[in-house]
Amino acid sequence: MIAPRPVPYDRELVAGLEAFVSAVEVIPLRADTIHANRDHFAALIPAIDAQAAGRAVTWEDRTIPGPHGAPDLEVTIVRPERARPGLAPAVLSIHGGGMVLGTRFFGTGELIDLAERHGVVGLAVEYRLAPEHPGPAQAEDCYAALEWMAAHADDLGIDPTRIVASGMSAGGGLSAAVALLSRDRGGPRLAGQLLGCPMLDDRNDTVSSRQYDGFGAWDRTNNDTAWDAIAGQDRFSDDFSPIVAPARSRDLSDLAPAFIEVGAAETFRDEAVDYARRIWATGGRAELHVWAGGYHGFSGFSPDAEVSKASIAARESWLRRVLLLDG
């Protein structure tokens, strides 16, 4: 099959894309290179003390209970240096990395910014990785972190009605899974789910996945490798769990308001668009942004490009609205 013609990248983003690929995707991601990639990726993530140096925030590591019968979880809590009056809004940060790579400190930069600018209290969770821990271990860990946040709202000084689950890539997919679990189990009600370029569908068979097969940031082959590790022999089955791959959910009604953003020039474009469309079809609330010429994770690696500035501003606007931020 001839791959469909890809959408071209925004010219301002090309240098950032090249830097991303040369720095992050040095080792092709295959079943036998997951651990080498994991070590390489972890080495690129600054330690939390370096990330927080000179910023008006405090942070602490804690160990909290994991899901029933599973190990405890390591989390990092980020707070503003000076608490504002009243209960704070909160963000559960879920890191990316295809559910096979990454640490919680890949997402703490967002929490530092939100704490400093808006007084948000953030929690970053260290969830278990595949293939050692197949899905739904990742989603269950993240949901356990949400339950702990809500149960300890007084200790954390947060408003349990103003918690957003937020993540990029695999973190976006896991944020969607947390929203599904919250609804289905009658758990803590999220104020919103922020799904950045989300990894939602194990089938990897969209037009956009075929447009970026063999090149780009997190291409179709990387995605296949990750989903094989997460799902194993259950992948592609008709009854595959929507808690592992939220696109498999037959019911997207009554979910927390969603912010969904994705690049037009990346693997996850079509599954992200379809997820928003299906939420709308139930009468649900979703805000969708498809950024012209954007590669996977473009705003983080090309922050000075005009399209990145627009993306960051849109994300900030949505957070202000759902978390009722006042400054």
Report d(CA 253, CA 283) in Å as an integer. 7
Q: What is the pLDDT of residue 83?
A: 85
Q: Is 272 helix (H, G, I), strand (E, B) or coil?
A: helix
Q: Which helix (H) or strand (E) holds 287?
A: strand 286-291
For the chain of 327 residues, list the mean pLDDT of each consecutive stretch of 10.
89 96 95 97 95 97 98 98 94 98 96 97 98 98 98 98 98 98 97 98 97 96 98 90 97 98 98 98 98 97 97 97 88
Q: pLDDT of 192-211, one tens digit each?
A: 999 999 999 999 999 999 99
Rounded Cα distance between 127 and 104, Å, is: 8
pLDDT reported for residue 2 = 76
Q: Does the model's pTM come out above 0.75?
A: yes
Quickly name the fold that domain 11-323 has.
Rossmann fold (3.40.50)
Contacts of 166 (CB under 8 A, 6+ apart): 91, 92, 93, 94, 107, 110, 175, 193, 194, 196
